[in-house]
Amino acid sequence: MGLNQDRLESMLQCLRSQHTLNSGMTDGGFASHPSLSPSSLDFSIHILDQVPSTNETLWTLLADGAPPGTVVIATRQTAGKGQRGRQWDSSPGGLYLSLALTPNLNARDALLLTLCSAWGLATTFRAYNIPVSLKWPNDLILDGYKLGGILTETKIHQGQITKAVVGVGINWSNPVPETGINLQTFLGDCPNPEITSLEMLAALTIWAVASGYQTFDEKGVGTLLPSYQNLMLGIGQTLTVEGSAGVVLGVSNTGELRIRLNESARSHPNSPFPGASSTEIELMPGTINQGYPILRA
């Protein structure tokens, strides 16, 4: 069953009119709801039955002159994309959505777009009594299982990001693998669920991604990262990096995963980091796999 566009747009308008600054501060200094209304964006929503990829479809619209705030939602993707080119299972019943932004951001900070989107989504879900946590850099985790993921793509000119597409996939009522969870099943155990339809989930997702970016843009990375890390699973987790043992410390100011290597690993003659001047390294996405289920350390 497809989304009702009038109902979705009505819910977005309610969010715009009702969303005010919350004076209570949590999660490292932010309000429990994302505190900034994305008032600068007028959302233009395109709901389609089936596309290869909502990100791909949105890039085509942008090439034809679509403005920032354009949203593409599909009932099904036939070639949905995940991180590092992985296929995203996009069967009917899930939310598959992409939002266009025009960030003022250096290309080296592109990963922070994913982090602020993830932060916006997690804090929004938590405000609706859904205890979503984050697995670096782009996964939404509920009860230790994957609820959804984010794929951010950018266009760069002279070292600056000129356009960005933030793609979000969230499990609503669709079947999921053993490492996943869908939101409707989780909410079935709640006596009074606050998210009651796919339209409401879509409206909150659009709002959360836009709010996450605006919060990052206005507050800065120094405020965003402590809040992101408060929601992040895996800090303190032990893992192996190319044969060397280490522990997860958190996230760097440009979004990489911070790892502290054991001294014994660094001094080993076959260590991949023999010349390191510090026990700490930073890894880009795709370097390691933390696996599922993932629990707070």
Q: Which tens digits make up the pLDDT trace of 229-271?
A: 999 999 998 888 888 889 999 999 999 999 999 865 444 555 5
Length of the chain (residues) = 297
pLDDT at 1 exceeding the cut of 60: no
Q: Residue 136 and residue 234: Cα distance in Å, rounded? A: 8
Domains detected in the chain: 5-233 (3.30.930.10), 238-283 (no CATH)
Q: By mean pLDDT, which of 10-24, 111-125, 186-200 is the weakest?
A: 10-24
Given a cut of 90, is residue 287 above it in pLDDT? Answer: no
Burial 109-145, CB ≥16 within 10 A → b, else e: bbbbbbbbbbbbbbbbbbbeebebbbbbbbbbbbeeb
Question: Among 62-66, 95-99, 265-269, where is mean pLDDT lowest?
Answer: 265-269
Predicted TM-score (pTM) of the model is: 0.86
DSSP structural state of residue 281: E
Helix (H), strand (E) at residue 48 = strand 44-51
Which is nearest to 120 in space by CA: 36, 6, 183, 64? 36
Estimate the crossing angle of helix 111-127 against helix 221-230, to 10 degrees.
Answer: 50
Q: Provide the pLDDT for residue 83.
A: 56
DSSP classification of residue 195 = -
Q: In sequence order, which residues have a C-beta less than 8 Å from that of residue 181 and are 6 or more positions away?
A: 142, 143, 145, 146, 147, 171
- What tokens appear for 90 in the block? 């996009």
CA angle, residues 149, 152, 155, in degrees to nearest 5: 170
Residues 49-70 have a mean pLDDT of 96
User: If you search the block for the tokens 């760097």, which residue do you land on?
Assistant: 252
